[in-house]
Structure 1
Amino acid sequence: MTDVLLSPTNFWFSIALIAVFFVFILELISTVFGASLLGLGDDFAEVDGEGFINTSLANWLNINKVPFLIFLVVLLTFFGLSGLIINGVAASVFGVAFSAIVSVPLAFIAALLITAKTVNIISRLLPSVESSAVNSDDFIGSVAEITIGRASRGNPAEAKFTDHYSQPHFVLVEPFEEEELFAQGERVILVQKNQHSWLATRYQ
């Protein structure tokens, strides 16, 4: 198995699977310290106001249905696995694996197709996660509860709130006031959206 993963023909597929492994480890470590990586990369969808998220391709891929990091992990996983399978089948049938020029595009196309379907299934299992793709103005004034971590300015924590459709959302929040601190279990009011998090004030 190690020989297969380290084979030059499987280089890019091995790199993709290794990247997924490291993201998994980093998420475990960040969770231990009361944080989460799930909100990272959500601003990737914003381009010129309208956003890449609103294009027909992005909608077909279901990028807007889960946090971008989850989409990326699923894509990398299926890219790596598809590449290994393609090269494995090629080696069995033709006696030699495809070159990267052939196998990488084939694996990427297969990964996109599978990821689009898989992400759609995952989105039904996960609670709605607020990202930059959502109309943020609708959430101003919402009351959220700190669920993971301790929030200070520049060090956001995870919070949960429910919208007017009774759908739960998870966001990263930090205090609006410089010296304010929010502990786990405290309730806060969302007042302003930043690039990666929300500024909030204490709920009285």
Structure 2
Amino acid sequence: MWELFTHPSNIVFSISLCLMFFFGIFEMLLMLIGGGSQGLLDQFLPEDVTHNTDLGIDADQSLLTKALDWLYLGRVPLFVWLIIFLTVYSLTGFIIQAFTLHFTDTLFNIWVISPACLFLCMPLVRFSAQLIAKILPQDETMAIYSEELIGRTAVIVLGEAKQNYPAQAKVSDQYGKTHYILVEPEQNETFTQGQSVVLTQKTKIGFQANPNL
């Protein structure tokens, strides 16, 4: 086992495992003194990731943002996510190398196994981060998802809204917080400035609505 840990083909996994233990001990020390890593490294995440997570509004996102969100980056503290990643990545590499050594008496080259495990471990990283996100205590928040605005009354505040030509509207959520959104008619009609409409469904850029009768 020690030979597997120290073999040059596994040096990346060995380093990852050592970093995991170091970060884990550091996290426990922070918790013992009444702190924690919450927000310690989150400033390095793209702003739209942390912004969408904090607000809970699933606005249009870039491909990178969607990938980071899929990995639960921003939903758990980045420091904790790194511990999860290093653990899963190193264990994935060691397990694959152990099976390879058992059946073939050889090991994958480090330049092959390292990037391969990086991709192979990502679904496990996401699953683990998802579990941790449910366990970690969450601050009370007034964040909502955009679908929760469906059925609420919005007011057109800028321009005229036509099909495929949305206008800006404002709507209040269940907490009384105002959101500015893009609205277009569900039917072939026009919404004028100051008109009240009822949001009916989400679109790629905003909402469709019907007149508030």
Q: CA RMSD in A?
A: 2.1
Name the amino acid aligned to 2:69.
N
Note the 1:22-171 alignment, pairs <5 A.
Answer: 22-47=22-47, 50-51=48-49, 55-128=65-138, 162-164=140-142
Give the distance between the partners of 1:103 and 1:164, measured in 2 at CA.
44
Give the distance between the partners of 1:119 and 1:24, measured in 2 at CA.
15
Give the distance between the partners of 1:95 and 1:3, measured in 2 at CA.
13
Name the amino acid aligned to 1:15.
I
Gaps of 5+ in 2: 53-60, 144-213
CA shift digits 1:30-87 (9 cap, x unpaired)? 333333223221112125xx35885111121121221111111111101100010111
Q: In percent, how many aligned pairs have the same letter? A: 26
TM-score by length of 2: 0.56
Give the distance between the partners of 1:110 and 1:59, measured in 2 at CA.
18
Give the distance between the partners of 2:138 and 2:125, measured in 1 at CA.
18
Note the 1:182-197 alignment, pairs <5 A.
Answer: none
Residue 13 of structure 1 deviates from its aligned partner by: 0.2
Structure 1 residue 3 and structure 2 residue 3: aligned?
A: yes
Note the 1:11-30 alignment, pairs <5 A.
Answer: 11-30=11-30
CA shift digits 1:144-181 (9 cap, x unpaired)? xxxxxxxxxxxxxxxxxx3347xxxxxxxxxxxxxxxx
TM-score by length of 1: 0.58
Q: Secondary structure at the match of 1:81?
A: helix
Name the amino acid aligned to 1:101.
W
Give the distance between the partners of 1:59 and 1:28, measured in 2 at CA.
26
Contact 2:42 2:74 in 1 (8 A): no
Give the distance between the partners of 1:119 and 1:25, measured in 2 at CA.
19
CA shift digits 1:3-52 (9 cap, x unpaired)? 221111110001001001011222233333333223221112125xx358
Q: How many residues align?
A: 131
Name the amino acid aligned to 2:141.
D
Name the amino acid aligned to 1:70.
V
Residue 104 of structure 1 deviates from its aligned partner by: 0.4
Gaps of 5+ in 1: 130-161, 166-204
